[in-house]
Structure 1
Amino acid sequence: MKSRALQVAAHPRGEVGPEHFEVVPVELPDPDQLAAGSVLVRNTWTSVDPGMRLRLRPAAPDGYFTAFDLHAPMDGILTIGEVVASRADGFAPGDVVWHSLGWREHAVVRAGESAMNGVGTLRVLDPGDAPHQHFLGPLGPMGLTAYAGLAVVDGLSGGRVLWVSAAAGAVGSLVVQIARNLGHRVVASAGSDEKVAWLRDDLGVAAFNHRSEPLGEALARLAPEGIDLYFDNVGGEHLEAALDAMAMHGRIALCGSISDYESEPTGPRNIFLATAKHLTLSGFRGSLHLDLLEEMQERVAGWIRDGRLVAPETVYDGLEQAPRAMADMLAGRTTGKTLVRLG
């Protein structure tokens, strides 16, 4: 059997482009010759996430997933697929599964082998009426990251003022809606008027365009009493503005720093405000909060059924489109979860 996969051809310096990847042919084992404990999966949806940009460097940040090797299979990319053949207990042809071997058309996955701190371990899904790709978005790792970020800043009970940056992205758009449904007053920022209009008119939250209004002025206008909670997807100037705007004893969930992914990091110059205001800054990774997955899925699935949570997607078709999908996402040209449909 023949298939195809994307590999990293060169580490990008600056913006990511198709020239940094290569599509390579892959020989698959005959289904009846799979190794014991292995499952052959035909991938149908594969994820495109901002954190992948950190792994396109020669060395990824300490403590994070390792950098992608050049001219080698990529791993740690969450994917939905259908079992073609199995020599592992609990997996049968036709099962819908998720696993961590994305950016390829087929994958041979070892059942029970932990991946991505457990969140990417091969598992059978029961989608019911949910679109399968929702398990890469609101019912999967994106939903878990959004929910866990609120949990680490004690934000699962409502009644406070919450700012969410990159609020039209895969995680940010879920944070906005989960927080709204929990009873927080949400301020959302995004990088285009179209995204701001969607956040304001469709999701019903206060929103501003950080490219056309200074961060500090916008926050003073929309949250004059200060910010109690900040969900940081951007870092840099956004984190600096948050420190200025935080109320006493505020809490910040440090999820991502997308402003630094393709440039030199710019840390906040006013970090002493964390001391002056008795703030709590909590770095976290959704994959380290698997204990919240079932709770998150139950609550989010209920909100989706009730029409209280929507899951926007930007979809690219075909394996070759994955690099363009990543470039568009990092440049802010996508809304919601960025996905590649493989079949």
Structure 2
Amino acid sequence: MAAGMVGLYIPLFNLTFHSLFLSLVIQFAKRDSLKVIASGGSDEKVAFMKEIRVDIAFNYKTTKTSEVLVKGSPINVYVPSFGHGDQARLIVVQLLEQCTPTSSLGLMNVMTKEIKMYGFVMTSILPKYRSAFYMEIPELLASNELIFKEELMKGLEGAGEAILVVQKGMNNGKCVVVVADQ
């Protein structure tokens, strides 16, 4: 059983929102009674999301994401995994190109809805949350309070395949390379 890294466990601390869009920390959000909208790239992944009580689960390859998000809105938290520049700032005062009658507002919403953006890096927050993560999460996994799937690759010779499977999004659970049985 792999508890994983502390990373996506952390941003859910101290959140008091009503809905959430993400696909990786569903069960943490549901434990806090948040509404969860989650996407996956296969029907099998969507089925698993439904198994762990996602409110709205959809296959982003076969469903128009914007339509799902409109039905599930408002969305108060979105947890993607992307980025470019370190310690970037996003300051929005007015976006003239968004002020046309045909505009859907887009980034203008950052200003008009007073949206806050937070970034975090594992190395800067790990010391604060590491102990809590390892005290709570392995126990929740062992007690089956958190449901998980693993795909085991045997031996170091399976490491390359494991990386490829994860990069292509072909895994349906946490990909674990088993280097020795104990």
TM-score (norm 1): 0.42
1:329, CA displacement in angstroms? Answer: 0.8
Residues of 2 paired with 1:208 and 1:232: CA distance?
16
Residues of 1 paired with 2:168 and 2:82: CA distance?
12
Spell out, residue by residue over 1:260-288, the C-alpha distance to the aligned partner (whole angstroms, 9 max, x if none). Answer: xxxxxxxxx94343223211111112332
Residues of 1 paired with 2:179 and 2:119: CA distance?
33
1:305, CA displacement in angstroms? Answer: 4.1
1:302, CA displacement in angstroms? Answer: 3.9
Letter in 1 for 2:169: G
Residue 311 of structure 1 contacts residue 336 of structure 1 at CA under 8 Å; is this kept in 2? yes
Q: How does 1:120-135 map to 2 (within 5 A)?
A: 131=1, 134-135=2-3
Letter in 2 for 1:204: R
Percent sequence identity over aligned pairs? 26
User: Which residue in 1 is equivalent to 2:121?
Assistant: 285
Is 1:183 aligned with 2:33? yes
User: Which residue in 2 is equivalent to 1:229?
Assistant: 77
Residues of 2 paired with 1:306 and 1:182: CA distance?
18
TM-score (norm 2): 0.76
1:297, CA displacement in angstroms? Answer: 2.4
Residue 196 of structure 1 contacts residue 207 of structure 1 at CA under 8 Å; is this kept in 2? yes
Is 1:161 aligned with 2:19? yes
Considering only CA atoms, is the larger Rg found in Structure 1 or Structure 2? Answer: 1
Give the helix-richer structure, 1 or 2: 2
Residues of 2 paired with 1:313 and 1:234: CA distance?
24
Instruction: Please list every run of 5 or more consecutive structure 1 residues that lacks an aligned counterpart in the other structure.
Output: 1-130, 236-268
User: Which residue in 2 is equivalent to 1:314?
Assistant: 151
Runs of 4+ in 1 over 6 A off after TM superposition: none
Spell out, residue by residue over 1:267-324, the C-alpha distance to the aligned partner (whole angstroms, 9 max, x if none). Answer: xx94343223211111112332121111222332343244220232122122222222
Letter in 2 for 1:294: S
Residue 150 of structure 2 contacts residue 175 of structure 2 at CA under 8 Å; is this kept in 1? yes
Residues of 2 paired with 1:234 and 1:220: CA distance?
23
Alpha-carbon RMSD: 2.2
Letter in 1 for 2:174: K
Is 1:218 aligned with 2:76? no
